[in-house]
Structure 1
């Protein structure tokens, strides 16, 4: 059976109608879960990460479902002068390889930067691209590069509060920032964020994440010379 379905999209920039592939939910079979919520799947063909970004074949503007639904005049001008002007028609709407998926992410990241998408949206793009490098094309240098970009945007999101618009709880965000700091060897920062989770005023509402934060905190304490307080 075909694991794909076509999703029709109207480009917010050039109004071109195009379709892109997505994975049918019944074919998405998780295999493992990492502490930063990265999921590996039974097959590459049914990895939904590869299809997270949609790319307009007509103008090159790339989006995710989290992008703003409306573009400002400044954003439209930026797309038209920095992407569309240099774009040659290319269809990303077919079955993707890892290489084409990575290219789609980079187009999405560039589109998000020039249209000034919110930090929580950009963080999600950087993090998922890091996951791709980890799970389907192991490249530690590239993974770390995008994890660092992700954690910077997540921290900015925390300071601005824009994560609330994307149904992200404060505890989950704090835990994720701590986990990413741990992965990029910023142990002192990881400890600070895990402690914020453990001591959070709403910790009783998300006990599973609080326990995960406590477990990670203990792991750092056992393996590191960094001084931590209880």
Structure 2
């Protein structure tokens, strides 16, 4: 009997240059989560079994980078901009092989750049910023983690204001919680309290009781630490 490998080749077609390529993916049965951080960052049992490393697909031919969250639609003029700023500058190489944390960081930064040029939804860009922050957290690089948590926080607020999260897997309650939690982690305390309060206000209207309870816990933690600070 053939042993199934955790990592396999996914066949892809680039939406920019239309050429075929393969990108490594991790089979879900091999991913085991130990626990989650309060911003939903999953902690896996091993670095090798981390699907976040393989979330981005990079075309080795032209450099166009995207995730499954990207829309197939290119707004007018964006193909020409990506061609000039990404594809024409690209030195062909393959990032679709087995990845370390450093390789994954490169792929996310490429995808963020392509996503911004393509005018992807704020919710899509914010998700990539947050995953970058999680990777830097696992590398214990607090400076870069803070940088990308702040970018994620700002872009999630943009998504909330633009209402562009509708129709995605991120509900309004989860989005408000994320803004609150990322704000708390980046010491934007007023904004954190504001969004945690918005989540708690949904307690009689939402089925997402777990997220509402998490918001309440964070709110109490912030209140208690503020009391301690005032007494010091």
2:21 paired with 1:21: no
Aligned-partner SS, 1:165: coil
CA distance in 2, matches of 1:197, 1:132: 27
Alignment of 1:74-153 (within 5 A): 74-135=77-138, 137-153=139-155
User: Partner of 2:226 in structure 1?
Assistant: 224
User: Partner of 1:209 in structure 2?
Assistant: 211
Task: Give aligned pairs, total.
Answer: 226
User: Partner of 2:60 in structure 1?
Assistant: 57
CA distance in 1, matches of 2:224, 2:46: 35
> Could you tell me whether the CA contact under 8 Å between 1:12 and 1:71 is conserved in 2?
no
CA distance in 2, matches of 1:160, 1:96: 34
CA distance in 2, matches of 1:51, 1:77: 27
The alpha carbon displacement at 1:204 in A equals 3.9
With the length of structure 2 as denominator, give the TM-score of the two structures: 0.94
Moved over 3 A (4+): 201-204
CA distance in 1, matches of 2:80, 2:224: 53
The alpha carbon displacement at 1:54 in A equals 0.6
Alignment of 1:184-203 (within 5 A): 184-200=186-202, 203=205
> Could you tell me whether the CA contact under 8 Å between 2:82 and 2:117 is conserved in 1?
yes
Unaligned runs of 5+ in 2: none
Give RMSD over aligned pairs. 1.5
Unaligned runs of 5+ in 1: none
